Amino acid sequence: MDPSGKTVIVTGAGSGIGRALCDAFHQAGAKKIVVSDIDRQAAEAVAGRIGGAAILCDVAEEAQVRSLIEKTEAEFGPIDLYCSNAGVALGFSPRVENAAAGPEELWERSWSINVMGHVYAARHLIPRMKARGGGYLLNTVSAAGLLTQIGSAIYSTTKHAAVGFAENIAIAHRDDGIKVSILCPQAVDTPLLHLLPSGPQSADGVLSPEQVAQAAIRGLEREIFLILPHAEVEGYIRRKMEDRDRWIDGMVRLQRRIYGSQS
């Protein structure tokens, strides 16, 4: 996937990784970049800087995602690349009394954004992409969806679900010409990171949003499913698959080292 000359949507684009993706696609010569966010002012600031278009959208609301897609295609033509980047990190605690005890509203909000945001986009884009012979989806997930997240069952569970959904699309729709990549960094220097308690996500260094965006560009060029801005994650995945019990033992030791005994 070469972004040059393409029409691109980026959700959660007012700051962080989303903003950096918009800048990277602009530098790569995208024809039109639709900057979508729940913060209108932030979206308009990014769009103004790169000559894009700002569209307000809460990805937790299917009607708003459908409207985002319809408005974009009506004004700028077929969407070549949809970057489902918006996400939330909720339910974090340095001491877990009960992994299942997070408030219902946090589970629901996380599910609606971290999972259903991807589902709604695919639900309304796949028929359009199939009709014209293909398209590309880039879903920002997290290394937590491949490994796990110490300190938040909510975040970890929804990110695992997002990985599973993307895999299903990649399998079900390859013959329709629809390609999928997932972007799975560890710690990234965004406002979101600074709201979280200290944890293992920063152990391999904190990347800038710009570094993550460049990793995304390289992954899209290669059209690979799994884009890992932190190279160390590949080794962690391999160890997890080779001996899951040993890996869990290691994660328990890591949790103890960071937060102390949970008992």
Strand duo 32-37 + 53-56: pairing: parallel
pLDDT of residue 204: 73
> 11 near 83, Cβ under 8 Å?
yes
**Residue 221, token pair as written in the block:** 């060029």
Domain boundaries, the chain: 7-233
190-228 pLDDT, tens digit each: 876 666 655 555 667 899 999 999 999 999 999 999 999
CATH number of the structural domain 7-233: 3.40.50.720
Spans of the chain below 70 pLDDT: 192-203, 261-263
**C-alpha to C-alpha distance for 121 and 58, rounded to whole angstroms:** 12
pTM for the predicted model, two decimal places: 0.93
Among the listed residues 82, 136, 155, 236, the single catalytic one is 155
**Residue 186, token pair as written in the block:** 């560890």
Based on the residue annotation, tell me whether 259 is a catalytic residue of this protein.
Answer: no
pLDDT of residue 255: 87
